[in-house]
Amino acid sequence: MRHKLLRIVSLITLAAIVLPLTSCAFASSLIYGKYKLSGDSSESKARFADDVLTLGQKGSGKCIEAFTIDINSPDGKDISIAYRSHIQDAGWYDWAPGGQEITYAQYYGIDTIQFMLMGKDAGMFDIEYRIAVVGEDWQEWVSNGTIAGIPEVHRPIEAVEIKLVQNDSYVPAAWTITEFDDVQGNQGMFYTMRNNEDGTLIVVDGGHAENTTQVRSVINLMGGRVDHWFLTHYDEDHACVFNEIYADPDGIEIGEVYATPLDYDYYMTFAVERWWDTPWVYEQFLSQTEGDERIHYLARDDVFEIDGLTVEVFNSYDDIVIGTGSPDVANFASLVFKISGQEDSILFCGDVYGQLWVLLTEMYGDRLAARYVQPGHHGNNHVDSEYWSVVNADVMFFDGPSWLTTSDDHDAKRLIEWCHSNGIETYEFATAPNWVAFN
């Protein structure tokens, strides 16, 4: 039976809640803020009318150069807001908690924005928002973290409308899984898995070094400690952020780390001739983690427990990987592992693809089955789509931007089309952060 997906970010399990009021006005009145427009000498209070909070002035020709948004939670409820903005010449800024002022007076105004709700009661609402850029009409409404604006175009925002809409289908979840995008618009991989009761945080990969500020801000929003960090393999679009934060934690605590073993000399016999290999990432990982007892190298068929979850390992660097004869050692050494709860499971495939994925499906069959699946190699798996039928997924996550997921030049488009024709929901960077409930 297909489960209903819940797009939430929550930090503690929510017991059953019955709201005393159910109107949209009740939900929207929780949010408030202030802003400053270019050329104005002082801030203005955001206006609330018809269940909508408005920042800025559409048609004024003045861009928003500073703003603050916050949530005034009802008694006994835990709801907070976080936001992220992009600005010309400055790029993406970190995710900021509610109440923190964002100001860009020295630049040319905000051109892109995202909002998401956090807290144990966050799933009670969807946050919906739309923008108007200078000289244009309102854009379409988006929700729950989806990007509003086009950072590559740099059209400054002159007004934002925000509303909270009560989610009548909300059901409490034990964990929340979130897929985040890459701030530079590249392919990459960064997931969080947060326990909504005790706050345990699992991180998978992290992405390019340029993604470090986003990963830091997300970890800090979720408590500042990574209890379990999985690195699928050592390519730069997966492991660079870990190396950056390990070298300079800046207050972030790192607990246990899980990685694939890799024979450096064997890897280097091929890496020196392959432009996409990044052996310097692996070299940095080895040099800075040497002797650290928190580092655990996983082996095929390992099974262990994490905070009530079961982890099963289906691929790691070993003789089976070597036996494929593939020169793509780094990708074929990727950890393939499944995390299972009481009802749900998620399969992470790193960058495994092609003949190795065929081999794994033959070796493990329906043991690979999971409700949520991150297909290997960002969906560019180089095998017939039907090989993914063995995982029997409800949802598949594609870790790439639209140039990768919609182009005829990449397998990801064909796999996404196959998913849709088989009733499988897909998420990609175009709608990230993408959140699902996990029990």
Q: What is the pLDDT of residues 49-71, one digit of tens each?
A: 999 999 999 999 999 988 999 99
> Residue 273: pLDDT band by 50, 70, 90 thresholds?
low
Task: Tell me which of 91-100, 316-325, 412-421 is least confident.
Answer: 91-100
pLDDT greater than 60 at residue 414: yes
Token duo for residue 212: 């470090």
> Residue 25: pLDDT band by 50, 70, 90 thresholds?
very low
Considering only residues 361 and 437, tell me which one the structure prediction assigns the higher pLDDT.
Answer: 361
Distance between CA atoms of residues 277 and 399, nearest Å: 19
Question: What does the H/E/C string look like for the chain?
Answer: CCCCCCCCCCCCCCCCCCCCCCCHHHHHCCEEEEEEECCCCCCEECEEECCEEEEECCCCCCCEEEEEEEECCCCCCCCEEEEEEEECCCEECCCEECCCCEECCCCCCEEEEEEEEECCCHHHEEEEEEEEECCCCECCCEECCCCEECCCCCCCEEEEEEEEEECCCCCCCCEEEEECCCCCCCCCCEEEEEECCCCCEEEEECCCHHHHHHHHHHHHHCCCEEEEEECCCCCHHHHHHHHHHHHCCCCCEEEEEEECCCCHHHHHHHHCCCCCCCHHHHHHHHHHHCCCCCEEECCCCCEEEECCEEEEEEECCCHHHHHCCCCCHHHHCCCEEEEECCCCEEEECCCCCHHHHHHHHHHHHHHHCCCEEECHHHHCCCCCHHHHHHHCCCEEECCCCHHHHCCCCCHHHHHHHHHHHCCCEEECHHHCCEEEEEC
pLDDT greater than 70 at residue 17: no
Mean pLDDT of 397-422: 94
Share of the chain above pLDDT 90, in %: 71
Query: What is the phi/psi pair of residue 310, to 5°?
Result: -105, 130
- Render pLDDT for 213-249 as a digit per residue (tens, 0 to 9): 999 999 999 999 999 999 999 999 999 999 999 999 9
> Residue 93: pLDDT band by 50, 70, 90 thresholds?
confident
pLDDT greater than 70 at residue 259: yes
Token duo for residue 230: 């999985």
Q: Maximum Cα–Cα distance for the chain, whole Å? A: 69
Q: What is the structure's pLDDT at 47? A: 95
Amino acid identity, position 13: T
Mean pLDDT of 179-188: 92
Q: If you average pLDDT over every residue of the chain, what do you get? A: 89
- Single pTM value for the model: 0.89
- Render pLDDT for 110-151 as a digit per residue (tens, 0 to 9): 899 999 998 778 888 999 999 999 989 999 999 999 999 988
Q: In the chain, what are the domains?
A: 24-166 (no CATH), 175-438 (3.60.15.10)
pLDDT greater than 70 at residue 428: yes
**Residue 3 burial (CB count, 10 A):** 14
> Residue 108: pLDDT band by 50, 70, 90 thresholds?
low
Q: Please report, for residues 20, 309, 422, the alpha-carbon distance to residue 146 in angstroms, rounded to integers and kept in the order given.
A: 29, 29, 25
Assign residue 109 a region: left if phi > 0, alpha if psi is -120 to 50, beta otherwise?
Answer: left
Token duo for residue 35: 């802003």
pLDDT greater than 80 at residue 199: yes
Q: What is the structure's pLDDT at 7? A: 38
